[in-house]
A and B are shown apart, each in its own frame.
Chain A
Amino acid sequence: MIEFKSVEKSYGAASAISNLSLSIPSGKVTALIGPSGCGKSTLLRLILGLIEPTSGEVVVDGHPVNRDSAQAIRRKSGYVIQDGGLFPHLTTAQNIELMGKHLDRAVDINKLTQLAHFPNDALGRFPGELSGGQKQRVGLMRALALDPSLLLLDEPLGALDPLVRSSLQKDLKQIFGEIGQTVVLVTHDMAEAAYLADLIVLLRAGKVVQVGTLEDFQKRPAEPFVTEFLNAQRQMVTL
């Protein structure tokens, strides 16, 4: 379980997160959604201790996130960013095995390629030689390499074309079902959030607007912004 307790994060005068409290349940897929700049990626960084809150506290599985605990939390987590975050000087296999080698722990690469539907013969390729969808699959394999108890995905499908995106969405759904761990997914696409997540958190300007399922949002909007956001998404879909 991840808990945000009255978390405030500001950069100078600008506030990215303001007095935010939120619980993310264990073993479920939670989607953080909202317009650009709403603070959804900032929440992921706070969980990993990549940035520190200005005030308030983030607690992961009972441990407050701080300088001392961050390393342990990171090593129990997998993190995937938009373009995969792969290191260009390492091959696909080297990227996946990086942490395993560093910590002297075995990585079952065959299991990962099967899980992520990645061709084994492409493991020797460098990131620059992979397609956008393949990079995401490698990023995912790297994140899952050491069986993390927490998986954080920051707009993993944001930069992909619709066909690749749809195929990866199906694969992700399947993977989330198989591993059954806590997943936090950042997206700006309500259809994707509804398809992949058990719980959706709608954010605006660093604040939580509503927590629930798509049905909750449709039938019991907490404020007019929820309906507005859904309508904007629907218009795009009916194009």
Chain B
Amino acid sequence: MRKVYALLILMSMVLGQVALAQTVVVGSKKFTESYVLGEIAKQVLTDAGLKVEHKKGMGATGIVWTALKDGGITLYPEYTGTVSEEILKQPGIDRPTMEKELAKDGVGMSPDLGFNDAYGLVMTKSQATKLGIVKISDLKVHPELTAGITPELLKRKDGWGPLTAKYGLKLKDVRGIDHALGYAALFAGQVDIKDCYTTDAEIKKYDLVVLQDDLHFFPLYRAVFLYRLNAPPQAIKAIASLAGKIDEAHMIAMNAVGGESADYAKAASLFFAKPNQKSVPSVAEESLVAQTIRLTEKHLELVGISLLLAILVGIPLGIVASKPGALSSVVLGTAGVIQTIPSLALLSLLVPIAFFGISERTAIAALFLYSLLPIVRNTAVGISTIPAGLKESAEALGLEPSARLRKIYLPMALPTILAGIKTSAVINVGTATLAALIGAGGLGEPIVSGLSINNNQIILQGAIPAAVLAILVQLAFDGIDRLLVPRGLRAK
């Protein structure tokens, strides 16, 4: 058993080294424009001599806002409409009021970046023309049309519900669908209407029309940065220097490049490629190999720490559960129930807890919980299936209960316990891709980005290494098995 512990400690040392240097952390929401603005901020801040990290695609407003408030990130791009309607929940307030209210949470708002990215509804040009629809009011007489709406907008205070109330729309079929996938669905004719940001590159790409907001439902969405008031002063100054520098046409062009290439640094570089600006700084480019290595390291860190915790907690729980009785049922039952919670639901249950929030901790906690069951169950089964005669022999020799466990039961159950750990590890490698949803990084990052812009190539940049990693983990555990399990216990 000593060999096992030594190995586990070694594993934790290799995987657990988390760099915690003080850096300015830029956050972004899960769509192209937010990524691009995040990259622009990263460049500007880097040029100002700061150490910058960009946490891409952290999720919807609530998640990014909470991260800003709690100090998980330093700044992120936002829209004035979202600030008043969603964050402050005071529709229609003016800018000075917004600034005053945000200051209560220790948050400041930069000057306008120069463009308005309002919400809107889009249809394909061909269908809009056929049905003679130009403005949102025209939809009133077409309840048969189907709508694919971003889940966030469906739930927002300034979102779908109030919109349909104001316009008196009675669409029968309204579905929640991811923003990027929604465009594909619209183009494929699976939905007729979808929500958009008025600077979305897809509007041009898919030849769509934005319906006129004739009742002026959607508020103005001027792009700004929200930052922590305690951010380094040079960071606040650098961000303020972006005031009025980005217009709509510019943003659409950058969104187009970002959406096509998924290289947001490249898209952001369009901003810097203006006259009197030198060529793109080289920091922007990261080769695919370097990216894969970086993400794989992060992935292994998440998997390693959570698996180690699951082993340290799971084996003792398994020992408890190996004795038949009420306690055993409770332990195995609880571990089983945790396993059935959908991973997205588990993440969103953990995020509101202050200790976790939008951090690696949340991802590690969720992965830890998912890794428990196979380890607990296999430890319990491994011990409880030891033949009664051998258990009795161990007792009759005069070994104390703890010595019986250490010298006889656990070593005899080792092959079964290792099999449980292996199962957990492989499941864990797959599940860890979800960590990217809450900005914890890892190989899920390209998968989430790729999904959000509907780009399979980018999805595969995360999916293939993750699959390879799962196979390697399996092989590694087969090796550990051969190393640790004595010849006497291997299959005859």
Contact = CB atoms under 8 A, between A and B. Distances in A.
Contacts of B390: 85, 87
Given A83-B389, A87-B408, A89-B412, A48 B394 contact: no
Nearest to B487: A126
A100 to B, nearest CB: 11
A98 B390 CA distance: 14
B224 to A, nearest CB: 66
A81 interface: yes
Contacts of A107: none
B314 interface: no
Contacts, number: 59
Contact of A88 (B394, B400, B412): B412
A102 B395 CA distance: 13
A126 B407 contact: no
A50 interface: yes
Interface residues of B, number: 22
B488 A127 contact: yes
Contact of B395 (A50, A88, A98): A50
A4 interface: no
**Residues of A in contact with B, size category:** 20 to 34
B392 interface: yes
A86 B392 CA distance: 11
Given A75-B398, A79-B393, A128 B412 contact: no
- Most B Cβ at <10 Å: residue of A50, A82, A88: A88
A71 interface: yes
Interface in B386-435: 389-390, 392-400, 403, 407-408, 411-412, 414
A98 B487 contact: no
A19 B397 CA distance: 28
A46 B390 CA distance: 17
Interface in B442-463: none
A179 interface: no
Nearest to B485: A89
Contacts of A232: none
Contact of A85 (B389, B400, B403, B486): B389
A126 B486 contact: yes
A109 interface: no
A111 to B, nearest CB: 19
A90 B488 contact: yes
A81 B393 contact: yes
A89 to B, nearest CB: 5
B492 interface: yes
Interface string A121-139: 0000011110000000000
B185 to A, nearest CB: 58
Nearest to A90: B488
Interface of B: 389-390, 392-400, 403, 407-408, 411-412, 414, 486-489, 492
Given A79-B397, A86-B393, A98-B407, 4 more contacts: A79-B396, A85-B393, A87-B408, A127-B488
Give the top 4 A-B pairs by smallest Cβ distance, nearest first. A126-B488, A85-B393, A74-B398, A75-B398
11 contacts: A74-B396, A77-B396, A83-B389, A87-B408, A88-B412, A89-B489, A90-B486, A91-B488, A102-B407, A128-B488, A142-B397
